[in-house]
Structures are given as C-alpha cells and as structure tokens.
Amino acid sequence: MRNYVVSDNRWRVDASKANGQLQSKMAASKSIIPSTVNPDLQKERDAASFNSEEFAAWWAGGVESLKFKRSIKEYMYKDFDKDAFIQLQYMSHEEVSEFAIKNSIAVAKKLRQLQAERNPGGDDYWPTLFEAPEMWGVHLAGNPFGVMYVMVVRALKAQCTPQQWEEFGKRVERFEVCAAYSQTELGHGTYLRGLETRADYDRATDEFVLNTPTISAYKFWPGGLGHASNYSVVMAQLYIDNQYKGPHMFFVQVREEGSHEPRPGVHIGEIGRKMGFVGVNNGFLGLKNVRIARTRMLMKHAQVHSDGTYVKSPADVLTYFAMVSTRCIIARNCALSLAIASTISTRYSAVRRQSPINPNEPEPQIIDHVTQQLKLFPEIAAGVAFRVASDYLWDLFNVTSSGIEQGKYENLPELHSLSCALKVIGSSDASAGVERLRLACGGHGYLASTNLANIYSNMTAACTYEGENTVLLLQIGRYLMKSWRAALGGASLAPTVKYLAEVQQNPEFGEWTGNWENLVKAIQFAAAKKTQLAFNSLAKRVTNGVSEEAAANQTGIELTQAAELHGRAFLFHSFLSEITGPKSKTRSSALNRVLEQLLELYLVNETLKNLSSILRFINLTDSDLSKLQARLETALSKIRPDAVAIVDGFDFSDRQLNSTIGSFDGNAYERIFDATLKSPMNQKSVPKSFHEHLGPFMKSNM
C-alpha cells in the first residue's frame, strides 16, 4: 500500500494493520481502488504552466471537435463492461473470437442508435466512427469488421462503377453483407505482381474463373476473412486468352448469405492465434474453379468487355489506391498509439517512487530521474510530430483523391511515396517507442493488465501489414532516384522533394547555427546527399554492365538509408511549420511555449540519433556536439513540470487506455492488485493440479 512505513520495526505493525484492512475490504466485496486522485499525480496537474484543455482542443482539431469526441466516448462506453479487458486475458482463442464478433456487433448497434438519435439519415456516427480511435477502447479484442470499413468500403468506392456501387458496394457499406480484403497470400505479400491467384475470363459464359493453383497461392492474413465475412474483394492476376493483364480486384462471394456455409469451390477458415489483434479473425482462402460474373471485376478504371476486349487503367497505382489510404490511416494510428503509451508510462512515472537521488532524502517520483525523462519525453514529442505529419498527409490524400475524380493523377507519386515514408517510420518508431515506454515501467510494465504489451504487439504488426517496411523504403528510394534525375534535368519537383534540387544548386551546407531552421536544413541536406550517393552508386553499376534491376538490388542499402532520411526530413519540416507557422497565432503563448519545447526536444534528440549520417556531410565541432547534448538535457528539464498535463491533453479516457497503471486517478498499485484478484486462478484457494499432480508427487518422495 502507498502509506506503508518502512523505516524501522514499525513497518511490521503498519503492514499488518493495512493487510487486515485490505482483507476486510475484499471480504466485504468493496473496491480496493480509492475514489480520490493520487496526490503525486494531482500535484503534477496543479503545477502545470498551461491549460491542458487548450492542448486537448488543439490535439482534437478544435474545440467543437473535442466536444464531439468526448460526447461520443461518453455515450458509447457507459454500456460496456469496464472489466472486460481483464477478463479477455483469460479467454481461450475461440472464446476471444466469439467475444470480438459479439462485442463489435454491439458497438455497431449502439452507433446506429446514436446516428438515429442525433442525425437520422446521416453517416457522421454510423458507419464513420465504427473503426475510429474513439472506439478502440470498446473493440477490446480488435474489430473483425474493421478492415471492411477501413479498406473494403474505401476500395469499392474508389474502384466500382456507379452501377457496381449501387448493386453491391452499398450493401457492404450498410453492413447487409460483410466483406474482407483478400490480397496477401501464403507465398506472397507486398510484391503484388508475384501473387498467384488467377482470374481467367471465359467468353462463353461471360464469367471469370478464379483459382488458387498452389498452397502458396492461398489468401492468408486478411482481417475478418476467417469466419466473419461472406464476401471478399480478391486481388488476382487477370488473364484473357491466357494473356497476362496484371493484378485486378474482384468481388467474390465466399459464404452463403443465409447459412454462412462456404460456397462451392471455396476453402476458408481462420489462421490461428497471433502475437496481437487476437480477435480480428484473420483468415485463409482457397478457390477452385470459382465462377463469378464479369461485372464482379471492379471496373471503374480498367475494364473487360464481354467480347474479351481489355481497357487498361489510366494509372496502374489506382489499383492499389485502397492501400495508399490505409497507409495514411496507419500513420495516424501510430501517432495515437505512441501518445496512448506515453500517457500510461508518464502517469505511472509520476506516482512510482524509487531510488533516492540524494541518499538522505525520500525516494523521489521516478519521473525526476533524468534517465527516466529520456525514456518518456522524446516519445511524447514523437507522438506529436507524427500526428502533425499525418495531418499533412491526409490533406495531400484528399487533394489527390479530388484530382483523380477529375482525371488528374500528377500527385499520385508524391502521395504514394509520402504515405509509405510515414507508414514505415511511424510504425518502426512507434514500435520501438512503445517498448521503451514499457521498459520505463519496470516489471509492472510486463503485466498484460497495463495494456502496453497489447499496444506493442499491434504496433509491431504495422511494420509488416499494408507493405513490409523494407520493401516500402525501396519504393521510396526509387521515387528519390527519379526525383534526383528530374532535378538534374531542370524539371520542377513535388513539394516534399524540392530540397533535392536546392542541394544540387547549393552543394555545400553553409554555416552551422543549430537553430530549428538549421536543424531542418541539416537533415534535408543529409537526405539529399544520401540520395546522391545512392544515385551515383546505381549509375556506376549500370555503367559497368549490371542490369538496372540487379543494380537496384545491389544498391538497396543506400536506397533504404536515403529513403528513411527523406521521411525524417519531412517530419522535421512539417513539425517546424505547424509549431512556428501562421497557426501559432491562434494559440495562447503558454500553449505555444509547451509545443515549442516539444519541437526543440524532437529536433535535437532526432539530430543526435542521426549524427552518423549528418556528420558524413556536415562538419560539426566538438563544441557543436556538446551544445546539442546540453540542449537535450535542458529540453527534458523544461518539459518535466508539464509532462503530466501534456499527456492529459491527449484526452484519452481510462476506457481508451485500458491500463491498470495509466488511469487518470493514478491509483496504479490498487488497480494492479484489483486486476490480480480477478484472475480465475485466485477464485480457488487450492488449484486442481495440486490434488491431481503436485500433492501426490511430493507424497511419493516421502
């Protein structure tokens, strides 16, 4: 208990008394969780230098948006069991799957009810919010139908003709049927041209015949496919008269609508337990001579006419546009997941006391240890940086989507490259960051009830799905090679790569000042120089007779290095622009000061982490490096008094956090113990295994 006396023999008396009180509470079925806020946490809030409500409004996108989000959470969470996340830890795989479907349908019903109450006929609540971050805390095992709204509906809207959308697209959107997005195969993932699933056109019947000819051709991993979907968008290689036309999307019924039994020729099921996303019902799909109508190929951009005539899409990337939008969502989710983990670990660090800094003083809050601050505060700053960058990415996505509707495709390459970059760096940095934050919580961070392990497993999965990170870095590298070549020829470049041309025109860095603009320029300069090195290595290999494909493979390390620095350069630039640009005039000086401190920490810390690349191209003195180190330590000390208020400003409710150590009241120890007492193992004083195995074995040795 928090008030134990441990300094002398009195601890035995006080501990015994406290233990008796605790047992009395449990015997009386009273909660052991105090109704008050932990005084250490309250002290942090009282001492903050800014209003966390203003931060929350900024983070939410405005006061009205904040009110809207809070009203959603208040309405949605009150009817769901607050202990369900703890109970989930003890369920079998099948029980988790059944719980996830039942729970997600309950969420859908309540959102429909909310839509009917507040805006009948609209879609601002249902289905728009079904997979929104505000709902994460009620989709406790994951949402088996999340992919349907994140990917399938978006893909159908983007790829269906108006007639197709009316015929079957709207049925999916209304949840009359449920659909998965089947692209990844057992033998192939990110490399779409390597997919083995075939769709052959049969003129005689005006149908496509779909087959997964080998075991490696089986669709494998699609969320919700296992037992939660009766239709699927299937990515397959199109053949007409055995002539290859590339990967295309097909809308395929995989289960009967009434009985939910698999359709003839369909072999379908779920893939088993995974590290995370335990209830998402990822599945496999095999197809044997499955026939679908010609009009079930999604034909907004590419078409197959009844006579077999093939009309090519005006831009190949349009086939994969659903993946681009999903990467934009992943970039946002990485920022939010990092913010959630930061909230949990920062609050815990404010109430945990350990290891005196001065031997003659009481144990301090561990957040007072500078080494602990280095674990916590850079992740808070990174979460903000990624959120700002993802907002820019969404703006670019919306502009590009509008252009596509008008037949304009010039923004697609930049959008593809930027979405890949933020997906890669967001998922890799968030995975590493969440793990650092878990470690910052010591042994308790290893408990499932803290939710940190769950957040980590979800984040590390993002390093692979919707494009494996290394493969995406190579795609960014190819974009950088094209951009560098274009700049050499005097062509204008997209906004996010204009710095390449600037470095070509000014190949020397110039004066090092270390101010924010200078740090942004430094990372851009390093990214441009890395791009130049990769370009020269690639060109040299081709000149020496190596094929372009082989040369690209041999230059892969340099290409991925340039790609990562390019992504980080964008993060630097977008963060600086948001915090110091025109929008700063709409914020109070107190909030601006806190945001500037986060900007300072992010830029300095990331510069120090990328020194090996920067020092290769920019001459820094030992004094310059010492100043950066001093700035890092100063930035940590300035954020320290406001750290709890900042994470409060992320405005995650306790139900969104689902953490015994991250709750708003800060009663971490009591919540840990309360969750412990709910373990099924603790409902009996003696386990069955003692009577059947342990007891008899010990007796046999007497």
What are the pLDDT digits (tens) for 135-175? 999 999 999 999 999 999 999 999 999 999 999 999 999 99
Of 531, 512, 533, 534, the C-alpha closest to 521 is 512
pLDDT (0 to 100) of residue 19: 53
Residue position matching structure tokens 């490399």: 191
Active site residue 549: no
CA distances from 530 to 417, 518, 562, 563, 669 (A): 17, 18, 5, 9, 49
CA–CA distance from 103 to each of 231, 411, 679 (Å)? Answer: 21, 40, 21
Q: State residue 6's pLDDT score.
A: 32
Strand order in the sheet with 283-287: 219-220, 283-287, 266-270
Max distance between CA atoms of the chain, in angstroms, equals 93
pLDDT computed for residue 17 by the predictor: 52
Indicate the length of the chain as a whole number.
Answer: 702
**What percent of the chain is helix, strand and coil (3-state, nearest 5)?**
60, 10, 30
Residue type for position 555: T
Alpha-carbon distances of 500 from 105, 490, 495, 560, 588, rounded to whole Å? 50, 12, 10, 16, 36
Say if CB 631 and CB 600 are below 8 A apart.
yes
How far is the C-alpha of 144 from the C-alpha of 160, rounded, in Å? 23
Q: Is the distance from CB of 644 to CB of 327 less than 8 angstroms? A: no
β 219-220/179-182 pair status: unpaired
Residue 283 to residue 270: CA distance in whole angstroms: 4
Q: What parts of the chain have a pLDDT lower than 70? A: 1-29
Give which of 488, 653, 26, 688 is closest to 696, Cα–Cα.
688
Q: Which of 44, 134, 466, 606 is catalytic?
A: 466
What is the model's pLDDT at position 321? Answer: 83
Q: What is the amino acid identity at position 606? A: E
Spatial separation of the C-alpha atoms in residues 31 and 49, rounded to whole Å = 34
Instruction: Assess contact for 434 and 338: CB atoms under 8 A.
Output: yes
Paired tokens of 9 = 């023999």
